[in-house]
Amino acid sequence: MSTKDWLEKDYYKVLGVSSNATADEIKKAYRKLARANHPDANPGNADAERRFKEVSEANDVLSDPAKRKEYDDARKLFGGGGFRFPRGGNTAGASSMDDLFRNASGSGDSFSDIFGGLFNGAGRTRTTASSRGPRRGSDIEGEVTIDFVDSVNGVTVPIQMISDAPCSACHGTGAKAGTVPRVCPTCQGSGMQTSTSGGVFAVTEPCVDCRGRGMIVDDPCPVCNGSGRGRSARSMQVRIPAGVTDGQRIRLKGKGGAGENGGAPGDLYVMVHVTAHPVFGRKGDNLTLTAPVTFSEAALGAEIEVPTLDGPAVRIKIAPGTPNGRTLRVRGKGVARRDGSHGDLLVTVEVVVPEQLSEQAREALGSFAAAAGSSDPRQALFAKVRAAGGRATSGTRTG
């Protein structure tokens, strides 16, 4: 069984037992799963065959006390299984553990080549001989606030950034002018050191003497105190694409901090904040608008004019008997999409009730009420309450 398998697979989970399960519990779980997934009991079932192999593999390790102890020690060392590298640096984009270690070492060495001596004899300490490779620059985050119209149409805005850059005095070496750093004798310039832990496992980590730089500065630069890094302020124009939403994070590749030793620059991440519009709102790629209409327009029907965000007004038809809150759609007057099409404008009708009426208007409404009849539209509410098991009755007055 390879070290890679031990780090990636959780054999306890495969058997459905806890990590402190007894030998009898492991045996019982294995027998149950083996019977259920045996190829003879599941002819032609590829999933059962795969499951049977996984169960057998897990039992082979956990049923052997020596193998189980070695497996448990390996998982404890690497965080309880599922060994992973953090994002960023030279491991970005790695698709497997072999890729991670190949990128980390800067060579074609495979996982087994690097950890070939992981479980070998104790007391050995070795250093890698490869030279220190390029280091990717750091990612930078910034924020920008734009107004609602610019978020819909897109806009170019200036951004002031403060980021790490090579020190202008020592040009990134970390050494005082007139001096040069020397290769670290501990790691031979690799920046990494491999040592044994507890006499069993070999652990690769940044060199403690040069702190992973591969070089030692005897006479540090007074400007950066030997770090080789400085702070730089620069301004750049950033294009905010059309259709950006409030809180959206935009990535600008290669616009972050400068890399070291020929490494690629990091990325710039811009957090966009959008101010609210006094009239328009947004729902996905659609713009929203509330349009007030009179009672007579809603009851009799009408053709009204409503504004658009950045173009001429459009006319929409209100059908007779339109209720308050109904939403009408105006095609193509919304937010621009990446494919060149546009969302829609959603207009919600709001029936406005006049606060004051003239005597003539009051008489007209009275005549309308008499002609329309005296049916109570709220009777349906009481019927629904009673149907739900309530005891609602009409006729009680308050106020």
CA distance 333 to 64: 70
More confident residue, 238 or 163: 238
Residue 395: the pLDDT is 59
Exposed, middle or buried by CB within 10 Å (0-12, 13-18, 19+), for 382? middle
Q: Which CATH architecture has domain 281-371?
A: Sandwich (2.60)
Residue 38, pLDDT > 90, answer: no
Residue 37, pLDDT > 60, answer: yes
Residue 328's nearest CA partner among 341, 319, 338, 339 is 319
Residue 303: the pLDDT is 93
Residue 42: the pLDDT is 82
Per-residue pLDDT tens over the stretch 112-130? 443 443 444 333 334 333 3
| Residue 302 banded pLDDT, cuts 50, 70, 90 | very high
3-state secondary structure of 11: helix
| % the chain with pLDDT above 70 | 76
What is the four-CA torsion angle of 150, 154, 158, 159, rounded to 10 degrees?
100
User: Which superfamily does 140-274 belong to?
Assistant: Heat shock protein DnaJ, cysteine-rich domain (2.10.230.10)
Residue 391: the pLDDT is 66
Residues 254/265, Cβ–Cβ less than 8 Å = yes
CA distance 139 to 267: 5
This model's pTM is above 0.75: no
The token pair at 326 is 């109904």
| Residue 331 banded pLDDT, cuts 50, 70, 90 | very high
Residue 322: the pLDDT is 92
Residue 83: the pLDDT is 40
Q: Mean pLDDT lowest for which of 129-138, 181-190, 303-312? A: 129-138
CA distance 325 to 290: 9
Residues 295/364, Cβ–Cβ less than 8 Å = no
More confident residue, 162 or 219: 219
Q: Are strands 126-127 and 192-197 parallel, antiparallel or unpaired?
A: antiparallel
Mean of pLDDT over the chain: 77
Burial pattern 202-230, b for ≥16 Cβ within 10 A else e, equals: bebeebeebebbbbbbeebbeebebbbbb
Q: SS3 sequence, 45-71?
A: CHHHHHHHHHHHHHHHHHCCHHHHHHH
Residue 150: the pLDDT is 92
3-state secondary structure of 299: helix
Question: Counting runs of H as helices and runs of E as strands, what totals does the chain give?
Answer: 11, 16
Strand locations in the chain, DSSP E?
126-127, 140-146, 155-166, 182-183, 192-197, 201-206, 215-216, 229-240, 249-252, 268-274, 281-283, 286-294, 302-306, 314-318, 327-330, 345-352
Output the CA angle 13-18-22, nearest 5 degrees: 120
Walk across the sheet containing 249-252 and list its strands: 140-146, 268-274, 249-252
The token pair at 109 is 């060495």
| % the chain with pLDDT above 90 | 22
Alpha-carbon dihedral sign for residues 186, 192, 196, 198: positive
CA distance 214 to 91: 19
Residue 315: the pLDDT is 94
- The top-scoring range by mean pLDDT among 69-78, 233-242, 312-321, 357-366 is 312-321
Per-residue pLDDT tens over the stretch 221-241? 888 877 777 666 677 888 888
More confident residue, 109 or 28: 28
User: Which superfamily does 3-83 belong to?
Assistant: DnaJ domain (1.10.287.110)
The long-range contacts involving 199-202, CB below 8 angstroms and separated by at least 24 positions, are 199/122, 199/123, 200/73, 200/119, 200/122, 201/73, 201/74, 201/77, 201/118, 201/119, 202/115, 202/117, 202/118, 202/120, 202/124, 202/126
Residue 111, pLDDT > 50, answer: no
3-state secondary structure of 356: coil
The token pair at 293 is 């209409």
Residue 172, pLDDT > 80, answer: no
Residue 290, pLDDT > 70, answer: yes
Per-residue pLDDT tens over the stretch 43-61? 888 888 888 888 888 888 8
DSSP string computed for 242-254: TT--TT-EEEETT
Task: State residue 93 phi and psi, 5-degree precision.
Answer: 85, 0
At 180, the amino acid letter reads V
* Region 207-221 average pLDDT: 81
In CATH terms, are 3-83 and 140-274 the same topology?
no
* Region 266-284 average pLDDT: 91
More confident residue, 181 or 305: 305
| Residue 82 banded pLDDT, cuts 50, 70, 90 | very low
* Region 325-341 average pLDDT: 91
Residue 286, pLDDT > 70, answer: yes
Per-residue pLDDT tens over the stretch 84-110? 433 334 433 333 444 434 434 444 444
User: What residue segments make up the domains of the chain, in order of their start?
Assistant: 3-83, 140-274, 281-371
* Region 230-256 average pLDDT: 83
